[in-house]
Structure 1
C-alpha cells in the first residue's frame, strides 16, 4: 500500500472532511457538532496560516487520513517550558471506516512521522492528545513518543508528548520502516 500526503485544499474535499471530523469515532478531534461551514472555515484558516498546515493523506490514491503539522510555539502550547527550537507539532486523523484494515492506522502514523521528520531542521515531534484517548496513546508509544506531563488546554487535558528522531528510529513502528 502506498501512503502519500498533499496540501489540503478544503473546498473540493469539504464533504469528506466534514464526515470525517464529525464522525462518532472522531470524538477526540473536537469537531463533533461542527457544521459544514465551520469545517470549511477552520481548514481555510489553517490553509492561510504560515505556521500550520493541513495535509490530505491518501492510500493508493484514495483519501484515507488527515494530518496537521504546526509550529507549537505559535499554538495553544506556546510558552510551555518544554518546547525547544526544532520542535514540530502534529495531529493525525485516520478516516473512520466500517471495514478496518489490520495495521493500517500504525502504517499511517509511521508515514505521518516520516513526513514530519523529512525536514532536517525538525529535532522532535510534539503531540498533545486528550488523556482519555487510550488508542492514540498506545500508538504514540509504539512510534516512540514519551509522555512528558499533562497540560490543561482550553478544550482538554492533554498528554504533552515528544518523539525525537532517535526515539522514532528505535521504536516498534519507526524501526520497522
Structure 2
C-alpha cells in the first residue's frame, strides 16, 4: 500500500481506489467545486466560498470524532467521504447507538469524473464499505441522507443497507458549527451482511 493512502484496493476492470485524509487547503478547490453544484444541495455547502469550505474542513481535521477523506481512483478524485462517531453526533439523539457503529456521509464526484460510468458508484461503495467495516474494524455503518435525497437513499438500499426510520436531526448552533434541522432517512449496513465471510 502507498504511504499516501490510509486504505487502498484494486478492483479488476475498474482501477485502484485510494482513500486518504482530506487536505483542507490543498483539496479545497475540488471540494468547493463539487459542493457548489446544484446536485450537491443536500450536502449543505451551496453558496459557501472556497475559503469557507477550507475553513470547515480545517476545523474538522482538529476533531477526534469526525474525519474527512478524499477518495481517488487511479490518483483522480472521485468522492468525498466523511466518517464520524455516531455517539458524538446529533444522529445519536435519533437512534440507539451500538458499540462498533460508524457513521458516513458520501459525496460522489460529478458524472464526468474519471471512472464515472455505469455501475461505478456500486463498485466504489463496495470499496468504501470494506474500508469502514474491515479496515477500521467496525460492526455497523449508519447513514442519514436527507429524506428528499431519493437518489442517495436508493443507492444505499441497493448496496445492501437496511432502511431505518425517518427521523428529525436537531439543529446544531455552536460557535464553530451550524447545522439546520434535517429530516433524514436512517439506513444501516451490518458487517456480517456486507462481508459474510469476514471474521
Q: Do both share a fold (TM > 0.5)?
A: yes
**1:105 has 2:124 as partner:** no
* Alpha-carbon distance in 2 for matches of 1:31, 1:3: 26
Say which of 168, 171, 177 aligns to 2:194.
168
**1:148 has 2:169 as partner:** no
* Structure 2 counterparts to residues 44-63 of structure 1, below 5 A: 44-63=58-77
* Alpha-carbon distance in 1 for matches of 2:111, 2:160: 26
Q: Is the 8 A contact 1:10 1:44 kept in 2?
A: yes
**1:89 has 2:115 as partner:** no
Unaligned runs of at least 5 residues, structure 2:
1-14, 170-179
Q: Is the 8 A contact 1:89 1:127 kept in 2?
A: yes
After the TM superposition, list the runs of 4 or more consecutive aligned residues in structure 1 that deviate by more than 4 angstroms: none
The count of aligned residue pairs is 171
Residue 46 of structure 1 deviates from its aligned partner by: 1.1
Q: Is the 8 A contact 2:71 2:79 kept in 1?
A: yes
Q: What's the C-alpha RMSD, in Å, of the aligned pairs?
A: 1.8
Q: Is the 8 A contact 2:94 2:168 kept in 1?
A: no
* Alpha-carbon distance in 1 for matches of 2:120, 2:29: 23
Residue 97 of structure 1 deviates from its aligned partner by: 3.2
* Alpha-carbon distance in 2 for matches of 1:121, 1:63: 25
Distance 1:16 1:57, change over 3 A: same
Larger radius of gyration: 2
SS at match of 2:90: coil
* Structure 2 counterparts to residues 1-177 of structure 1, below 5 A: 1-98=15-112, 100-119=116-135, 121-153=137-169, 154-169=180-195
TM-score normalised by structure 1 residue count: 0.89
